[in-house]
Chains A and B, each alone.
Chain A
Amino acid sequence: MRGIVARLTSRALQSVLVIFAAASLAFLMLHLAPGDPISGIADASSVPRELRAQWDAQQGYDQPIAVQYTRWIADVARGRLGQSTSHQRPAIDVLGDRLPHTLLLMSLALGASVLLGAAIGAWQGARAGRRPDRAVTTASLLLYSIPEFWFALALLYVFAYRVHILPATGMFDAAMYDSMTPWQQIIDRARHLVLPWLSLTVMGTAVFARYQRATMSDVMREPFVRTARAKGLSEAAVRRQAWRAAILPIVTLAGLSFPALLTGAVFVERVFAWPGMGSALLDAIDKRDYHLVSACVIIGSAMTALGSLLADIVRAFVDPRLRVS
């Protein structure tokens, strides 16, 4: 048990280190970049020098760089990520509004990909090398090789532009939403969710299926599986035993899949105008809203660190081998 606590403590420290590194990187970029947050709001040459000096003093830009850095890290530690110039409010508040939309998309996609991928991969791994397995392997390799943004565009074209059965953009029908009954509102939101969710889930399922197939076919060659067969268990029971050992690496992979999911979400949000963190980031880039951009990098890194920490915690509880060693 002590081993687990030490390991998890070290992993938690690692997460803090990641956030610190991301914050330092953001500081570096904010300072190396041509221009500064103020030139994002106003044309620098038209601002009187006294007003400019006053702004600098207010923001702390007249301080030595070491002081600014220390203050920035202290601010990030307290959850202050600077002022968003395009939204005229703290960047963290903007993300606080947008992040839940991204998390909804990501969690539904992750849940479905893990379940589907683990089921398909385990099915394949139990009959590795035979024809049905090879056919599914080819199919998942193909789906895995289609970049999400293009797959999303294809879905948009087919289901929204050609057959008109699903809405193209947004989270709900802006014109009609308020006049709907609560039940209709739920249906409307679900219909808007289908295409973005599917875009992320197909790629995710292929990733998890490929991985689960590999771990399952490895486990099927282990001595304990041979023992189970030799003592006369049915093939279904043997596979169930094997699968319990093969499912654990999937937990780790799910935790490590956050950056890939986030990447997919950025593209999918652009294609379907989904108002999440990815859209906020792309808008911020257009508007040179430096603090909002750096806030996205910090929050994205924190989510990644948290994802792998979470996977470690889950593994510590479900994997009996970690408790012994």
Chain B
Amino acid sequence: MFTLVPSAIAARTVRWRLPLVFVLMLAAVAVFAPFIAPFSPADLPDNYDVVKNFPPSAAHPFGTDGYGRDVLSRVIYGSRISLTLAFAAVSLALLLGTCYGAVAGLLGGAVDRWLMRFLDVALSIPRLLLLLAVTAFWGALPLSALIILLGTTGWFDVARLVRGEVQALVRRDFILAAQATGVPRARLLGRHLVPHLVPLLVVSATLNVAGTIALEAGLSYLGLGVQPPIASWGNIIKEGAGVMEAQWWLAFFPGLAMVTAVLACNALGDALRDLFAMDQVHA
């Protein structure tokens, strides 16, 4: 069994590099979209009747859609929306979950029990059904509302993880030592506690970004997420799903982009979890 150890360590230190490269590449595509995209994502070309529904070719590697727009350009611009939305929603969820989990973990006792009971209940209401209900009652939501909605329904598992980690941390010797030497409470939190939460939050964030990209795409596929004319991977797939039999490329390429992003984030999250030995985090 001992021979396994060095190779396991080697595997641990290398595995996060490839997914990280992919994540950074996708982020670069999103940031530099105007310089990379060969065509406009939204404007109809003048001769749109002639160039519509082209299969993939050298000029349009991902083909064109029913309005003659270049699918590659739409997928590139769509990455901006899909990635920004996931990143913003997960940031909000991390903020809410960390505050809630830290309060529960630090106060303990009856407060902790009630906060945890509330979490159990909140986790039992299926998130997708809740999101669908909100869109049913209030209609299609603008991007900012979608971010807030995904953020405020996505922090429950973060809160539970943070609470567990805080509970474990406050019993550690360095925290007791800091308390014993009279470190002020604010400094105790900021300098001693929060930095130790960073690995957990990074792993949880990476896995949550993967899930949120998929969720947003799913909502947009149902026509209840990002609304046209803004292109997101999900709503391009929605357009393509109806005409899949004749124009497969319209649903295929945005889906491929989406799977690449989800896979890269999941692989990075898995690798970082192993690296930091955070076995408690599950996707």
A residues engaging B (CB < 8 A)?
Answer: 14, 17-18, 21-22, 25-26, 29-30, 32-34, 129, 141-142, 144-150, 153-154, 156-157, 161, 210-211, 214, 258-259, 262-263, 266-267, 270-271, 281-282, 284-285, 288, 290, 293-294, 296-297, 300-301, 304-305, 308
Contacts and interface: CB of A to CB of B under 8 A. Distances in A.
A284 B136 contact: yes
Q: How large is the interface on B (under 10, 10 to 19, 20 to 34, 35 or more residues)?
A: 35 or more
Nearest to B241: A153
B2 interface: no
Contacts, number: 135
B90 interface: no
Interface string B230-253: 000000010001001100100100
A288 B266 CA distance: 36
11 contacts: A14-B120, A21-B124, A32-B137, A144-B266, A146-B262, A148-B218, A149-B218, A150-B217, A258-B126, A259-B128, A288-B136
Contact of B125 (A30, A142, A157, A297): A297
A301 B259 contact: no
Given A150-B259, A214-B279, A145 B129 contact: no
A69 to B, nearest CB: 17
Nearest to B262: A145
Interface in B1-54: 4, 7-8, 11
A263 B130 CA distance: 11
A252 B267 CA distance: 25
B255 A153 contact: yes
Contacts of B262: 145-147
Contact of B133 (A29, A146, A210, A305): A29
B3 to A, nearest CB: 11
A21 B121 contact: yes
Nearest to A33: B137
A21 B124 CA distance: 10
B134 interface: yes
A14 to B, nearest CB: 6
Interface pairs A-B: 3 shortest CB-CB: A33-B137, A145-B263, A285-B136
A293 B136 contact: yes
